[in-house]
Structure 1
Amino acid sequence: MKTTKILLAGMTALLLASCGTHKTLMEQKPAPGDTPRPAADSTSHKLSYVQHISDKALYQKNVVSNLTFTVNNGRKDITVPGILRMRKDEVVRLQLLIPILRSEIGRIEFTKDYVLFIDRIHKQYVKAGYNDVAFLRDNGISFYTLQALFWNQLFIPRQQRVSEADMSQFSVDTHRLEVDGSAKIVLRDGKMTYKWVIPALWDQIAHTAVSYTSPTHGTSELSWFYEDFRPFGSKQFPASQSVEIHTPAIGQRPAKTLKASFELDGFSDAGDWEPFTTPSDKYKKVSVEEILGKLMNF
């Protein structure tokens, strides 16, 4: 029971923290085909390159996969099986299961309008709009940002999708091209900086980094890593994803690092499932402040 409680709290902490803040690029095997690297002195080639990476997005409406989820709270790893279900522009859902029995112990659901956390062990849930969570609201984080992270895509804060007309908002770090052949796409938005790293000889986003710099609280960072790309339809999708969240020390609260990984197995585009969950009347609704208070002690 204690392990389950730690797991649910850790999962919630990671996903909530990832909404408001973002290490070393992991080595990948090169994908077949030529990657059109932008010329250092050509704006048009840079725009073409950003468009090329944007076009790597999946065509599928649904992604369903078995999941092995591991969270590390700085002291130990906790691993459980689960199921990932995503429907484009509607929901990202993670269901956590009891090993062997495969019965659900928790559910995290991100929709366009709200975030839902269900704790089936203690029969309680949290349902809150993105504007009801201060660090989501203050950093302009929406469902579409989270969706892009899970789907391995470029994104622009507060926008549903990235269009061809948006390509000029991104820049390409040509210094990295000249140093080691890798490319880095960058987008700056106020105090937020977004970076997508595409390693040399490999034609996929391998690392998305988001940082938030506060003049009083320092810099918080979230890094989302992608590995083990596998064919899914006509595209490639990462079967291994991992997240690291670093938050600075603030007052009496020490600096903290949280890590989680998602190992996927058996992609499907099955659409025979309901996208939204309605908690049972037997479940108690608790406040965002209450669950965040518990997470501060995680």
Structure 2
Amino acid sequence: MKPIIALLLTALTLTACHSSKNLTKTPAPSTSDTSASAGEAMSAAATEFAGRIAATSQKASTLTAKINMDLNALGKNVSVGGSLKMKKDDVVQLSLSFLGFEVGRLEFTPTSVLIVDRVNKQYVRTGYDQVGFLNQANLDFYTLQALFWGELFIPGQHPLTTPGRFRLSEAGDHTLLSLTDSPWLEYSFLAATKTALVDRVNIQGKNAADKGTFTWRYGNRTTVGGQPFPTTMACNVSGIGKDMSFSLTLSRLNNDSGWTTRTALSDKYTRREADDILGRLLSL
């Protein structure tokens, strides 16, 4: 069970730290449109397509599912079961189980990240500004929430009020919305033109020295609460020296709201720093 916790923490701590170190803080040179009217037309088209994507979103405020997760990090592969529970603008809970017992839990709220190690009775609670990559990429709770719900986002903006900032381009039967005016990173959303369903989110640096790439993919949608929702999600982080990936397969999806939105820990649990727990596990 220890490798499971090691991989879990690696995904949120080791990868985060290396990603932030590989991001330079030299803003990419800005460009201006040669034609104001062309720029306005592009903005209007992006706004219209962003609206179509928003229309496919879940209308219910809660979603729960059973999951199978495959983690690949530290040269190891581990498969675990568990559950995913989400409440809009409040919490994303990811519980990981092995042989029927919960071994770890991730809980994202608007103010903090909680990582629980059930095996060793310890936990980490920290702010988003203390997780390197999340801080550098301006990925707060609302951004992570959008990734799990399969929605558009602009870092640091909630709700999304300026979709005209995206640049729209077409590629075959897909449409790409790119956010290029962020100082250090570029965010892109690839969606099927016909259905306006997001297939892929990509985040990468603007400078040649920034090798890190973050990709989140969706697939195999089903209908939940009258709206489409992906039953597979896959995240990959590469180009940072220690590549990692995980995939989620969701089943038994519903809009159940009868669950506890905050994890309570007894005094048997010891609070640790993320680097401390990770260091112990990597030494095993």
TM-score range, shorter chain: 0.7 to 0.9
CA distance in 2 between partners of 1:184 and 1:296 (Å): 39
Name the TM-score, length of structure 1 as normaliser.
0.80
CA distance in 2 between partners of 1:72 and 1:134 (Å): 20
Asked if 1:226 corresponds to 2:224, the answer is: no
Structure 1 gaps, min length 5? 22-39, 249-254
Cα distance 1:294–1:196, how it changes in 2: closer, same or farther (>3 A)?
Answer: farther
What's the CA shift for 1:93?
Answer: 0.7
Match of 2:131 in 1: 133
Q: Match of 1:261, as an amino acid?
A: S
Match of 2:270 in 1: 284
CA distance in 2 between partners of 1:5 and 1:295 (Å): 7
CA distance in 2 between partners of 1:18 and 1:83 (Å): 23
What is the aligned-residue identity percentage? 27
Asked if 1:123 corresponds to 2:121, the answer is: yes
CA distance in 1 between partners of 2:164 and 2:108 (Å): 29
What's the CA shift for 1:289?
Answer: 3.1
Residues 203-214 of structure 1: pairs in structure 2 closer than 5 A = 203-213=196-206
Superposed CA deviations along residues 259-290 of structure 1, whole A, max 9, x for unmatched, are: 11100001111111111112211111111331
Cα distance 1:18–1:209, how it changes in 2: closer, same or farther (>3 A)?
Answer: farther
Residues 97-112 of structure 1: pairs in structure 2 closer than 5 A = 97-99=97-99, 102-112=100-110
Match of 1:65 in 2: 65
CA RMSD of aligned residues (A): 2.6
Structure 2 gaps, min length 5? 21-38
Match of 1:260 in 2: 246
Name the TM-score, length of structure 2 as normaliser.
0.84
Cα distance 1:296–1:147, how it changes in 2: closer, same or farther (>3 A)?
Answer: farther
Report which stretch shifted further, 86-95 or 283-292. 283-292
How many residues of Structure 1 are paired with residues of Structure 2 in the alignment? 263
CA contact (8 A) 2:16 2:134 kept: no
CA distance in 2 between partners of 1:145 and 1:41 (Å): 26
- DSSP-derived class of the 1:263 partner: strand
Match of 2:30 in 1: none
CA distance in 2 between partners of 1:186 and 1:295 (Å): 38
- DSSP-derived class of the 1:266 partner: strand
Residues 135-284 of structure 1: pairs in structure 2 closer than 5 A = 135-163=133-161, 166-174=162-170, 176=171, 180-188=172-180, 189-199=182-192, 201-213=194-206, 218-248=210-240, 255-284=241-270
